Structure 1
Amino acid sequence: MQKLLSTSEAAPLIGVAPKTLMNWRVLGVGPHHIRAGRKVAYDVNDIEAWKAARRVRSTSQLVAA
């Protein structure tokens, strides 16, 4: 079983500040996260899938929301 990452551990993998990742959770635009009570965690596989879904070839290509 793979270790789950905290917000502060996951943010650098995406290239954003932890606060940005927290805001994205509220907006529903960031990678999937796991909630257990008040704790929030990220699976590395979910982060990689989210990044892969946003991979584009040109600036005119639309990105999935």
Structure 2
Amino acid sequence: MSTTTNLPSVWLTSPQAAARIGVHPMTMVNWRHKGIGPKYEKLGPGKAAHTRYHVDEIDKWMRSKKANAA
């Protein structure tokens, strides 16, 4: 029996990442195009690739925004 099946994924979809940050999902798309959001990975070939955000990258990006605001 695998014990990893009950662990939450550390990779989030764009809507999941948006919810974690507290913004609209389209904001994630806009940030990607502008190169100003959290780091992400494209999984798969070409335009059919799935965008995923690692929770550590999201958290690191959020901390950097708080530090810049202070």
Q: Does 1:29 align with 2:36?
A: yes
Richer in strand (by share): 2
1:44 is aligned, of 47, 55, 60, to 55
* Aligned partner letter, 1:26: H
If you compute each CA radius of gyration, which structure gives the higher value, 1 or 2? 2
The equivalent of 1:54 in structure 2 is 65
Structure 1 moving runs of 4+ over 4 Å:
none
Q: TM-score, length-normalised on structure 1?
A: 0.79
Structure 2, unaligned runs of 5 or more: none
Q: TM-score, length-normalised on structure 2?
A: 0.74
TM-fit CA distance, 1:42: 0.5
* Aligned partner letter, 1:41: R
- Equivalenced residues, count: 58
Structure 1, unaligned runs of 5 or more: 57-62
Partner Cα separation in structure 2 for residue 39 and residue 33 of structure 1? 10
Deviation sequence 1:18-55 (CA, Å, 0-9, x none): 11101100100000001112110000000000000011
